[in-house]
Structure 1
Amino acid sequence: MNKTIARTPAGAGVTTRTIAKAAVIGSGVMGAGIAAHLANAGIPCLLLDIVPTSLTPEEEQKGLTLEHPQVRNRLASKAVAALPKSSTAPLYRADDAARITPGNTEDHLAQLRDADWIIEVVTERLDIKKSILKQIESVRKEGAIVSTNTSGISVNAMAEDCSEEFRRHFLGTHFFNPPRHMKLLEIIPGYDTDPEITAFMVQFCTKRLGKGVVVAKDTPNFIANRIGTYGLLVTLKEMIRGGYTVEEVDAATGPVLGRPKSATFRTLDLVGIDTFVHVARNVYDQAPAGKEREVFAVPEVMEQLVARGWIGEKSGQGFYKKIKGEQGSQILSLHLDSMEYHPVAKVSSGSLEAAKAVKGARKKVKAFLSTPDRYSELAWHVLKQVLVYAAEKLGEIADSVQDVDNAMKWGFNWELGPFETWDLIGLPASVQRMEAEGLTVPAWVKEWIASGNRSFYKTEEGQLFHYHKGAYRGVETEPERISLSLLKQQNRIIRANSGANLIDLGDEVACLEFTSPNNAIGADILVMIQQSVDEVRANYRGLVIANEGRNFCVGANLMLMLMEAQSGDWDEVDDIIHLFQGSMMKLKQLEKPVVAAPHRMTLGGGVEACLPADRIIFSAETYFGLVETGVGLIPAGGGCKELALMISDSHPDPEADLQPAINRVFEMIAMAKTSTSGPDAIRMGYGRPGDTVVMNQDYRIYEAKQAVLEMDRAGYAPRDPGRIRVTGRDGRAVLQMGALSLKQGGYISDHDYLIAKKLAHVLTGGDVPAGTVVSEQHLLDLEREAFLSLLGEVKTQQRMQHMLAKGKPLRN
């Protein structure tokens, strides 16, 4: 199960390696997070730290000594114990922590000989890292891979005193924090690293750990931190030069520029201003004297903030400060001239409004930069310097423009990398403007334009090319990475409407892609589902349901439902629910295999679109749940029915007690519980036999396609109509009694209780005796009746309005 085959560059042969066990040295935030993610991937991991030199008060009270194992393992043990409670949720499931064995570097160092991969994650000091590597070398087995997680210390300098065999198996693996959630992993080979080891680690970390891997050069801060730190420092200098406020800078350097909402200063507060200062100094200390080194000089204001202890969220204040008052919380921003905090002021302008008026990062950036005012000017002055700097560093920090772009997208959550952004704003015209404004553009960029090229990337006949050492080079794509956007460029759309596409994946497999805003399910998607079933039935071997949106599906079109309810058009609402239920049943009854491949937020109707499939291929990062009660409703697209059917099918003995399982599902839906991951969705009961989790989201469509082909080759037989044994009136009474006790205890409101009663009625099969066997349509009718009844409630409509306006539930 843990075997990964790494294919090396042409002519280098094929190496088969196994990482059956790993070890991490250093149990701080990063070390514990890396160990947790290895555990997520099913890899047993040894986590070691130093032996404490003093007892805690609790240890003294217990009468422990410094020699007691509980004391000697304290640092690693505390780190493991803290993982399930961490706000960053480093584990997919709490019980994954059982794969991590805590220990210390004195008593358990010899156990490193069992590890296939040893990761050093100790203090960012060269002398300490060199010392640890010598200890590792003294016990590791020959051929074991050793890596350092460093944000910028030279990989070659660390291993210079180690043997040649050690250096061949040594490299940098720079995880970004938090390791589970941040996609970027920079792999940094040393001078002596065996190319086969690099190739293996790239593939292993991509497929098994689900990372976006870029290969970086052994230079200060590598790729993402080098460019990201430069950009943040340039932004601060432009802010001071132009007299902008903290909130003005964040307004101009966030989503309108294709960057995260945290923009500049919220990002610094999140990262930690002290951490940022350390990273900046690392480049400053190693860069040659000149213009670049001057940029990396730490600004005085940051020195002041660190000296005052105002280092961001971990200290409670930085560039922003949150205070609590009688009227609720208030956010203050720092005025750099006075070093005093003031209420955050609203920022608005023509350029900002132009960006807000359009959808998608590319359109936002173009609209923003093409509307002249002081905010778009600030963004331009920052952007031009970052683009030129990225071009200057190409070849020094990485060989490929794509690696640079991916590093910034995966490591800093930019929507567009520097070279993609340059293409977007117009390469020749922007270079002309940069030079007119006194900026020196690297010669290779001007030569590239002079040769007749107008972009760093181009697409021809569905093949993507990028600049590489003076020529266009085809972007290598693995068969496992199916790109719907590229397939659409190759004219592989079979059918399309305003909310969905049906796309030919090849090998006679089709893919249903949602394309509506937030992929919310409306009539257009439902119509396309029905048309897709007809098309696949006639011409294809099976169907995949997947898309490449930010989230798979946030549910049904809430606004549409609310508008119809408020206008009193109940026949229209009833028709929509009939259409939804009918579409899901038609999908389920297709005589060809259907596989759903959800990712990230898959809520409400998105779950109901997955449950009729024969299999679900969950992305590891899938947040899956029937959350309709949060807006005063219950699932009505078959969600309740499908879970009741799964319980009935899993208890084939007619005398088996269904009540405990029904209680669990009732609580899950009533409390709008959502999985914290793909594995957690299976644990919650959404998984069926054959359902799996894919670590790398980029591979889920391929895996779903393979599942379709596998079922087809095995001789797919359509499922029989479901027959559902229900708990009836007796089961309903149990559920309602539980809800009543919560209401009487003040834990839920009267309206919550009403919703709970409706949900209980549906899940238990309505007014029938316990043990009655009902049809799927019977439960669908109950779902529809309950949904319509709740939709007519004023308090439900208030909840829907609040969710649409505020993005969070109202408990009324």
Structure 2
Amino acid sequence: MSKKLLVRRAAVLGAGVMGAQIAAHLTNAGVDTVLFDLPAKEGDPNGVVGKAIANLGKLSPAPLASKPLAERITAANYETGLEHLRGCDLIIEAIAERMDWKQDLYKKIAPFVADHAVLASNTSGLGINKLAEVLPEQLRHRFCGVHFFNPPRYMHLAELIPARTTDAAVLESLETFLTTTLGKGVVIAKDTPNFIGNRIGVFSMLAGMHHTEQFGLGFDTVDALTGPAIGRPKSATFRTADVVGLDTMAHVIKTMADTLPEDPWHSYFQAPKWLSALIEKGALGQKTGAGVYTKRGKDILVLDLQAQDYRVSAGELDADVATMLKEKDPSRKFAALRGSEHPQAQFLWAIFRDTFHYSAYHLESIADTAREVDFAMRWGYGWSLGPFETWQAAGWKQIADWIAEDIVAGKAMSNAPLPNWVFDGRDGVHGNAGSYSPARNSYVPRSSNPVYARQRFPDPLLGEKFSQGRTVYENDGVRMWVDEGDDIAVVSFKTKMHTVNDQVLNGLQEAIAVAERDFAGLVIWQPKEPFSAGADLAGALGLLQAGDVKGFEAMVANFQATSQRIKYALVPVVAAVRGLALGGGCEFQMHAASSVFGLESYVGLVEAGVGLLPAGGGLKEFAVRASDAAGPGGDVFAQLKTAFESVAMGKVSASAMEARELKLARDNDTVVFNAFELLHVAKAQARALAENGYRPPLPARRVQVAGDVGIATFKMMLVNMLEGRFISPHDYEIASRIATVICGGEVDRGALVDEEWLLKLEREHFVALAQMPKTQERIAHMLKTGKPLRN
């Protein structure tokens, strides 16, 4: 019975931090969601949930992709609202981590759960089989664990934990839903305490804490060592503990101690004395304003155990150790760390060694293959490589021998032997045939679940190579390629941050010509984020400083010509956008036949920040869209207001949905939740347009503009801002020119102009601004610091 999980309505039980955010993300994904909690003691019985929903708007990073979505979540309570459950296809339980509470709730809801509905517990480590024991027989095959990582909108990992009774078809269909609808990276875990991510992740933090003490290092030094320097998030070790909450951290450690009595590392499963002392004082980390770190004024202070007080955080890496970490060859890097006498290097070798040792020892009991462990650490903890990938990259055999030597010498945290398979002559655990499974003693390929056919380039593991397609055309700026037998070509930029220079402009124009001749459509897509950080500022500033105004004007004209070429191509050009799409990158997608956005798309026309205005056809496009929306004789100005504010303030959307609200995306542009499916959807979109007999829009020759009255109205708003000191005189200058272009220049209100007129206005005002000293100061400052200058 391979039945598809059709989720029309979902319920989330528990409106705590996690539950409310899971409900928010389901709602982001267009799933009608009911959020439950206990009835309020007084007033509205759904008051507890109402408060949790209101709180979603205050959280940062934002759980909701669009603020108004909060109103779409239905509030309910366990006393009067259980009837809601009858209409739910998926029920996710996310109450506090107590077995007895969860089991009591299951008994209470069981009579209301529909015969086809799937029930999943978002527990971070309680036994799934134990939870299932209280369920009625007919519900057990539709029950499993699904563990989202916090914050659920942004963390890619979702661990799926089957119970012994879970139906395979239920699991496969839930995996499909999590992958495509919610955009997750799914890892199947065995039913063991803390599953995979937290089992390895918390152990690696405990190892970090243990060795911090052993080598006498400061907390800030350890954070400098265990962050981006080794391919891990900025929050590193102790900052992460502060963010998670020191009380939560201690609770998780205690859970490990209680549930893993047989673990050979059991003696380390206890909170260090300093951690317990901080918790007693109520210093629980970020939520209380003090933990391992605290802030005084602008200074960040760190706890100093010697002085029993806070000191200013310095966290310096030793110069020699920093050099070792910059070594590109992992085998040389690890040899240097292990051979060094420096405590910082010894610390790093020790935490890697013990994490490798722990991961290998427990692999068979916690996961089917090494792939699950590596993905769990990458997607759930933000490591650039998982533990097995790191070990394999550094030379499997050599590292294994060193770990074994350290175990014998009593240097490792445990004297448990490495499993035999580590020494069977292998060079690693990932290869062409898949990833190693100790239980099956074989290499297991990636999942055969059909949902993964949507990922042309899945997240690659070490050593995995995916065909890059056949190159059709290439220059220094772009590469255009196609899969064999496909009629939709793809073009990708080759520049840093995918910025736009002359080679990109000329390359795009050529790629469109090739697509018109040989293919049914073209997709603009980048293998890695961002989509494009905009125009190449350094090149532009060079032309200006050299006094080459003609060359500068030609570059702007070429930019506009490229946007127009995208818009009027005879085959559909579809933009596949994720990550940053700024300036020219945003303008290209505005001119595409259609855009497909990854949910996490941060879109903006930010030229004002560098003293310029958008001149790649973006303002012209706003004017054309406003004219179309208003209709003959309609109010064009009303259609322009949001777009003007977005550009004048340099706003950047915090999601693809917000890009629609800011008028930087069209209302009918598609939003895709799984970034690895973006190319698949964009190609399908291009193919659908082509199949429908695509023709580009007719040239916009009669664009109705807001004219002088529109400009004057915008300027009134700006004068108030200038007088209130919200903007500088140069900001006023830039915004006035944006208003002039978007309103079609000093012509009568309702006058009809053509696109060429609007493009000429863009160019004139862009070139005029570019020659002003204050603008050139802004560009130079942005290039030097990466931050905008308000002058």
TM-score range relative to shorter protein: over 0.9
Q: Distance in 1 between matches of 2:356 and 2:314?
A: 30
Residues 247 and 123 (structure 1), Cα distance of their counterparts in 2 relative to 1, 3 Å cut = same
Aligned to 1:7: none
Are 2:471 and 1:482 aligned?
A: no
What CA distance in whole angstroms lies between the structure 2 residues aligned with 1:135 and 1:805? 61
Partner SS, residue 182 of structure 1? coil
Counterpart pick for 1:406 among 375, 383, 405: 375
Instruction: Determine if contact 1:43/1:99 at 8 Å carries over to the other structure.
Output: no
3-state SS, counterpart of residue 291 of structure 1: coil
- Report 1:311-460 matches (<5 A): 311-324=284-297, 329-345=298-314, 347-350=316-319, 353-354=322-323, 363=328, 369=334, 372=337, 374=342, 375-438=344-407, 442-448=418-424, 450=425, 453-459=426-432
CA–CA separation in structure 1 for the residues paired with 2:115 and 2:259 = 34
Q: Which residue of 2 aligns with 1:34?
A: 22
Partner-residue secondary structure (3-state), 1:192: coil
Cα pair distance change 1:501/1:465, threshold 3 Å? farther
Q: Given the alignment of the two structures, is residue 675 of structure 1 paired with residue 675 of structure 2, yes or no?
A: no
Aligned to 1:250: 223
1:592 and 1:718 in contact (8 A); partners too? yes
Matched, 1:561 2:540: yes
Where does structure 1 lack aligned partners over 5 or more consecutive residues? Answer: 1-12, 54-65
Q: Is the 8 A contact 1:356 1:364 kept in 2?
A: no
Amino acid at match of 1:472: Y
**Structure-to-structure mapping, 1:187-198, within 5 angstroms:** 187-198=160-171
Q: Give the distance between the partners of 1:197 and 1:634, measured in 2 at CA.
A: 53
Deviates more, 1:422-431 or 1:173-182: 422-431
Partner of 1:779: 758
How far did 1:133 drift? 0.8
Q: CA deviation at 1:615?
A: 0.4
In 2: Cα distance, 1:678 partner to 1:114 partner? 30
Q: Quickly say closer, same or farther: Cα 1:515–1:336, change in 2 above 3 A.
A: farther
Q: Aligned to 2:31, which of 40, 43, 50?
A: 43
Aligned residue for 1:187, secondary structure, equals: strand
CA drift at 1:376: 4.1
TM-score (norm 2): 0.92
Q: 1:386 to 1:132 in 2, by over 3 A?
A: same
Partners in 2 of 1:249 and 1:805 — Cα distance?
30
Task: Specify whether residues 119 and 494 from structure 1 end up closer, same or farther in structure 2 by C-alpha distance, changes over 3 A only.
Answer: same
Match status 1:222 vs 2:195: yes
**Does the Cα contact within 8 Å between 2:525 and 2:575 map onto a contact in 1?**
yes
**Count of aligned residue pairs for this structure pair:** 769
Cα offset, 1:447, TM superposition = 4.0
Amino acid at match of 1:661: Q
CA distance in 2, matches of 1:667, 1:293: 58
Query: Are residue 134 (structure 1) and residue 107 (structure 2) matched?
Result: yes
Q: Which of the residues 444, 469, 472 maps onto 2:443?
A: 472
State the partner residue of 2:13. Answer: 25
Q: What CA distance in whole angstroms lies between the structure 2 residues aligned with 1:734 and 1:234?
A: 63
Q: What is the DSSP-based 3-state SS (H/G/I as helix, E as strand, rest coil) of the residue aligned with 1:103?
A: strand
**Corresponding residue of 2:175:** 202
Residues 481 and 489 of structure 2 are in contact (CA less than 8 Å); yes or no, is this contact kept in structure 1? yes
Q: Deviations over 1:547-595 (max 9, x none)?
A: 1323222222233333443443333332332332222222222211111
Provide the rounded CA distance (Å) in 2 between the counterparts of 1:620 and 1:657.
32
Q: CA deviation at 1:311?
A: 1.6
Change in 2 beyond 3 A, CA 1:400/1:777: farther
Asked whether 1:274 is paired with 2:274, we answer: no
Query: Structure 1-normalised TM-score?
Result: 0.90
C-alpha distance in 2 between matches for 1:351 and 1:204: 49
Whole-angstrom CA distance in 2 between matches of 1:697 and 1:566: 40
Aligned match of 2:710 in 728, 731, 741?
A: 731
CA distances 1:599-652 after superposition (whole Å, capped 9, x unpaired) = 122211210121121000111111111111122211111111122222222233
Match runs of 1:324-723 below 5 Å: 324=297, 329-345=298-314, 347-350=316-319, 353-354=322-323, 363=328, 369=334, 372=337, 374=342, 375-438=344-407, 442-448=418-424, 450=425, 453-459=426-432, 465-468=434-437, 469-476=440-447, 478-483=452-457, 489-490=467-468, 492-506=470-484, 507-653=486-632, 655-688=633-666, 690-723=668-701
Partner of 1:228: helix, strand, or coil? Answer: helix
Mapped to 2, the partners of 1:752 and 1:601 lie a distance apart of 23
* Mapped partners of 1:511, 1:81: distance in 2: 43
Q: Partners in 2 of 1:298 and 1:248 — Cα distance?
A: 20
TM-superposed deviation, 1:659? 0.6
Is the 1:617–1:692 contact (alpha carbons within 8 Å) kept by the matching residues of 2?
yes
Q: 1:512–1:543: 8 Å Cα contact kept in structure 2?
A: yes
Q: 1:751: Cα distance to partner? A: 1.1
Q: Give distance in 1, aligned partners of 2:278 and 2:590.
A: 52
Aligned 1:95-106 pairs, distance under 5 A: 95-106=68-79
Give me the whole-angstrom Cα distance separating, in 2, the residues matched to 1:224 and 1:649.
Answer: 51
- Superposed displacement of residue 785, structure 1: 2.1
Task: Determine helix, strand or coil for the equivalent of 1:395.
Answer: helix
> 1:660 is matched by which residue type in structure 2?
A
Distance 1:200 1:764 in 2: 51
Q: 1:369 to 1:538 in 2, by over 3 A?
A: farther
Overall identity of the aligned pairs, in %: 37
Query: Could you tell me whether the CA contact under 8 Å between 1:258 and 1:365 is conserved in 2?
Result: no
Is the contact made by 2:225 and 2:317 (CA closer than 8 Å) also made in structure 1? no
CA contact (8 A) 1:354 1:368 kept: no
CA distance in 2, matches of 1:592, 1:348: 54
Partner Cα separation in structure 2 for residue 421 and residue 99 of structure 1: 44
Structure 2: runs of 5 or more not aligned: none
Partner secondary structure for residue 630 of structure 2: coil
1-structure distance, mates of 2:493, 2:420 = 41
Name the CA shift for 1:353/1:539 in 2 (closer, same or farther; >3 Å). farther
Matching residue of 2:737: 758
Aligned equivalent of 2:776:
797
SS state of the match for residue 442, structure 1? coil
> Given the superposition, is the C-alpha separation of residues 731 and 262 from structure 1 closer, same or farther in structure 2, using an over 3 Å criterion?
same
Deviation at 1:371, TM superposition (A): 5.5
Tell me: CA distance 1:615–1:487, structure 2 relative to 1, closer, same or farther (3 Å).
Answer: farther
Assess, with a 3 A threshold, how the Cα gap between structure 1 residues 497 and 229 changes in structure 2: closer, same or farther: farther
C-alpha separation in 1, matches of 2:388 and 2:552: 48
Alignment RMSD (CA, Å)? 2.3
Give the partner amino acid of 1:494.
V
Compared CA separation, residues 355 and 555, structure 1 to 2 (3 A): farther
CA distance in 2, matches of 1:229, 1:557: 43
Change (3 A) 1:355 1:94: farther
1:293 aligns with 2:272: no
Q: CA deviation digits over 1:496-549, x for unaligned, max 9?
A: 444432221341211111232222222332232123123212222211111132
Query: Structure 1 residues 704 and 107, CA, compared in 2 at 3 Å: closer, same or farther?
Result: same
One-letter identity of the residue aligned with 1:668: S
1:181 aligned residue? 154
Distance 1:772 1:349, change over 3 A: farther
